[in-house]
Structure 1
């Protein structure tokens, strides 16, 4: 039992910046956590933590062992939940990782609908624009845009998005429509930085933006008012493209689409709360019009 308890305490390190915060998360003292790690290191005869003047971090062996501990403990929880009948209904805490912009434009109604359907689930969402390590950071589910790194995660494809170039019909009527990406040097470009570097199929555009916007929504608003040409992922502008308020520019030079996946780490032993959330997201996102742009 002591080994099982030590493994439980060790998994508290997932997603925590320090031993002290991990101990608080596990509701034990820092000394108790340190002793549990020390017992594991003695039993395994390998260092799990690397200690320095800046603090502690997981060694390569520690990262691998943490992932294994989390997988094994989840399997134990799943077995107990199954015996108790908890797999029948979704309940408990669920930690979800979502891309920041994607969440703003696509995920908000999906999350609200899920919470209405499953009132016993408590959802903690984390918004970042990087690829997380679900095992080390303690996430149950993630929605990821782009090619997936190789891993043991279970991935379900929901659609694809792409970078698109667009401008308002009034702007194009006044300034003309470019025939090649090089023609954009003569246009009013809207971007997040002063120096534009836009990659197209067979051409890399380097130019200077006429209008700089620090947010994607600010750039979209400016384009809707006829201020120039923007380039962004398709999901923030799909409704404007469908309504005709924005027109698609140079579609033949667009880069290949990027896949969107819902990923999770528990496989067939996933709890009902994980399976219900994954199934709900997959069904909702596959029907979302943002993924129907050719």
Structure 2
């Protein structure tokens, strides 16, 4: 399957995604995908994909569990999508509670480990 083949499939889109960008062979493809479901909740989109209702674009941390269990299948294995940045916003260090720092460190480490597992 090639990136432009997505245009022939039912794509389950997050309401913030007007287009899907896919990078294949160092070339970016901006795709105006269509589908019968658009939602602002990734859980809704994942459940629809698990039921076989279409193709969904998921971040690694959301997809890994389902891919490893064989419940979802990667359709473009030799492609990537541009990453999104996650920001942790908190009060300055002089006011930061220990639990906030621990949560940020845990989340950053867990996501890094998840990415490493997926890349292996």
Partner of 1:254 in structure 2? Answer: 80
TM-score, length-scaled by structure 2 = 0.69
The counterpart of 2:44, out of the listed 218, 241, 263, is 218
- In structure 1, what is the Cα distance between the partners aligned to 2:87 and 2:55? 29
Which runs of 5 or more structure 1 residues have no equivalent in the other structure? 1-178
Partner of 2:110 in structure 1? Answer: 287
The counterpart of 1:188, out of the listed 4, 10, 30, is 10
Partner of 1:198 in structure 2? Answer: 20
Aligned pairs for 1:16-35 (under 5 A) are none
CA contact (8 A) 1:200 1:253 kept: yes
- In structure 1, what is the Cα distance between the partners aligned to 2:39 and 2:85? 27
Q: Which has the higher strand share?
A: 1
Distance 1:262 1:293, change over 3 A: farther
CA RMSD of aligned residues (A): 2.9
- In structure 2, what is the Cα distance between the partners aligned to 1:246 and 1:220? 9
- In structure 2, what is the Cα distance between the partners aligned to 1:197 and 1:211? 14
CA contact (8 A) 1:196 1:208 kept: no
TM-score, length-scaled by structure 1 = 0.32
Q: Deviations over 1:97-140 (max 9, x none)?
A: xxxxxxxxxxxxxxxxxxxxxxxxxxxxxxxxxxxxxxxxxxxx
The number of aligned residues is: 111
- In structure 2, what is the Cα distance between the partners aligned to 1:277 and 1:251? 36
Which runs of 5 or more structure 2 residues have no equivalent in the other structure? none
Partner of 2:56 in structure 1? Answer: 230
Partner of 1:126 in structure 2? Answer: none
Distance 1:208 1:243, change over 3 A: same
- In structure 2, what is the Cα distance between the partners aligned to 1:284 and 1:216? 19
Distance 1:196 1:263, change over 3 A: closer
Larger radius of gyration: 1
| Bigger RCO (CA 8 Å, 6+ sep) | 2
Q: Which has the higher helix share?
A: 1
